[in-house]
């Protein structure tokens, strides 16, 4: 009985302990969340109409500062407070990743070899503030540069950022100096970094415009694109701990989440009490890639802000390849010597094939400008027919070359290719070039009736006309001789 009572008392104490832990833990979590501001829309803001994204207004976004740019040109489509100095929080790691990837692909024969380099974490990875996000690196732990980058970009590991910085430059201070040098080279005039991870410092700041510049530079690296568009990743077992599973903090990448957007391809979140909620994103649709930066937004509004900006951008910008432009108004030619059974009487539509299939050529810009270029593409291109267009012609035969001159100054060349077979007429007359070639080769030339029929007919007609004219002249002369001449008469 006493044993049962003691057991009941122990269970009661344990339950009370768990209740207190749960209560105070939830309170602590609420307090931590409350420490990060979460801006919302201004009272009385005009309601956003998702059916008309082109009508987006600044007041329909919660972010204090934002910018939307087209990736390839850097053109700003919409912006607000884009040059105001702001603390970027973990979006700082975009620059850290850029430097690390440049190191991997320039210091080694291949970028894959560079990413396979092993980092040994130092003591400093364990001395970071406890309120920041980490992947739990331990002193002496060995991890590849690739895995550290994934841990930094997906899980926002501050310890991974420090480990990367020390591995590349020997110390984080030296690495930060390089970050600032690269920022200056890229034209990020409103930026100063004091660490590699983004934890608050009064000497650590940037602007929405500068973050867009850094992101565009990083997105030029295929490995960066792949990394920031990855939803889940596992860091393999290391020398001191088991494998570590992660999910990207970018909620717009998760197809099972409420904020998913299929066009999103990255990039990086950031959260801190001095920065509120930040998000740098990239999205691609119909050949157009956009980069947006929202700073000091709300916990959920950073996703809403980003979606609104992206939809606005896609309503303003368009992109077409030369192949797509050509397909809307292809070139037609007419073959000679075609078969009398040809239903199109020798008419042939030419298709195009890029001479350099690896080149990614696009005409990108405001939709009206792209459409105007497409409507007048023949004014911005040159065509050279390299064939005599004489049947027979086989589907796929290269008959000429089309050169486009894009607004960016590129001049991609495309083969003009036969889109169908054109059979030759039987006993078709030889061309002058064919006759000359046979004459030079000494080959006996057999002239077909088709070849001589027209000259013979023309010659016969000419002889008939001349004969008729000659007979008329003779007839007139004969009649003139038969008319009696008047006699002279004199009258007295």
- Bridge-based pairing of strands 276-285 and 264-272 is antiparallel
DSSP string, 293-351: EEEEE-TTHHHHHHHHHHHHHHHHEEEE-HHHHHHHS--EEE-BSB-TT-TTTTEEEEE
Whether omega before 199 lies within 30 degrees of 0, making that bond cis, reads no
- CA 233 – CA 249 distance, rounded (Å): 12
Show the CA angle centred on residue 269, arms to residues 298 and 91, nearest 5°. Answer: 115
Classified as helix, coil or strand, 59 is: helix
Query: Would you call the peptide bond into 8 cis, given omega within 30 degrees of 0 as the criterion?
Result: no
Of 368, 374, 366, the residue nearest 75 (C-alpha): 366
DSSP annotation string for 183-240: HHHHT-TT-B-SSSS----TT-BB-HHHHHHHHHHHHTSHHHHHHHT-SEEEEPP-SS
In the structure encoding, which two tokens stand for residue 139, read together? Answer: 């002193």
Nearest to 212 by CA among 266, 274, 137: 266
- DSSP 8-state symbol, 156: -
Scanning the structure block, which residue is given the tokens 């002239």? 447
| Contact (CB, 8 A) for 451 and 429 | yes
- The catalytic site residues sit at 90, 93, 156
Cα distance between residue 228 and residue 265, in whole Å: 7
Torsional class of 427: left (φ above 0), alpha (ψ -120 to 50), beta (otherwise): left
Pick the closest to residue 84 from 296, 257, 358, 399 (CA basis): 296
Burial 4-25, CB ≥16 within 10 A → b, else e: eeeeeeeeeeeeeeeeeeeeee
């Amino acid at each position: 009985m006493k044993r049962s009572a003691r057991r009941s008392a122990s269970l009661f104490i344990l339950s009370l302990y768990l209740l207190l832990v749960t209560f105070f833990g939830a309170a602590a979590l609420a307090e931590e969340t409350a420490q990060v501001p979460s801006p919302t829309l201004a009272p009385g803001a005009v309601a956003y109409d998702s059916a008309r994204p082109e009508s987006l207004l600044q007041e329909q976004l919660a972010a204090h500062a934002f910018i939307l740019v087209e990736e390839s040109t850097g053109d700003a489509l919409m912006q607000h407070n884009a040059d105001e100095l702001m603390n970027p929080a973990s979006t700082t790691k975009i620059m850290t990743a850029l430097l690390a990837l440049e190191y991997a692909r320039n210091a080694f024969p291949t970028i894959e070899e560079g990413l396979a380099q092993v980092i040994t974490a130092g003591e400093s990875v364990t001395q970071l503030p406890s309120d920041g996000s980490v992947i739990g690196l331990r002193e002496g732990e060995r991890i590849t540069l690739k895995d550290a980058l994934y841990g930094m970009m997906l899980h926002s590991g501050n310890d991974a950022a420090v480990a990367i910085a020390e591995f590349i430059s020997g110390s984080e201070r030296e690495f930060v100096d390089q970050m600032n040098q690269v920022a200056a080279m890229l034209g990020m005039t409103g930026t100063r970094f004091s660490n590699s991870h983004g934890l608050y410092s009064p000497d650590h700041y940037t602007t929405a415009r500068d973050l867009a510049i850094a992101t565009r530079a990083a997105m030029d690296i295929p490995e960066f694109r792949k990394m920031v568009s990855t939803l889940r990743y596992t860091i393999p077992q290391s020398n001191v701990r088991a494998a570590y599973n992660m999910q990207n903090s970018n909620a717009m990448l998760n197809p099972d989440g409420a904020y998913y957007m299929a066009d999103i391809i990255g990039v990086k979140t950031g959260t801190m009490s001095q920065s509120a909620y930040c998000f740098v994103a990239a999205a691609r649709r119909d050949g157009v890639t956009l980069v947006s930066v929202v700073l000091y937004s709300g916990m959920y509004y950073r996703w809403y802000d980003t979606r609104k900006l992206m939809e606005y951008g896609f309503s303003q910008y368009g992109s077409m390849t030369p192949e797509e432009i050509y397909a809307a108004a292809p070139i037609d030619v007419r073959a000679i010597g075609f078969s009398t059974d040809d239903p199109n009487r020798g008419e042939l539509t030419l298709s195009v094939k890029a001479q350099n299939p690896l080149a990614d050529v696009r005409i990108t810009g405001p939709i009206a400008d792209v459409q105007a270029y497409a409507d007048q593409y023949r004014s911005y291109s040159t065509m050279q027919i390299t064939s005599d267009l004489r049947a027979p012609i086989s589907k796929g035969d290269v008959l000429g070359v089309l050169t486009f001159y894009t607004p960016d100054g590129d001049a991609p060349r495309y083969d003009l290719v036969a889109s169908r077979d054109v059979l030759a007429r039987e006993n078709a007359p030889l061309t002058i070039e064919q006759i000359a070639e046979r004459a030079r080769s000494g080959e006996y030339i057999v002239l077909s009736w088709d070849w001589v029929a027209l000259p013979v007919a023309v010659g016969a007609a000419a002889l008939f006309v001349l004969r008729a004219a000659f007979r008329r002249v003779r007839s007139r002369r004969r009649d003139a001789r038969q008319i009696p001449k008047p006699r002279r008469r004199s009258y007295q």
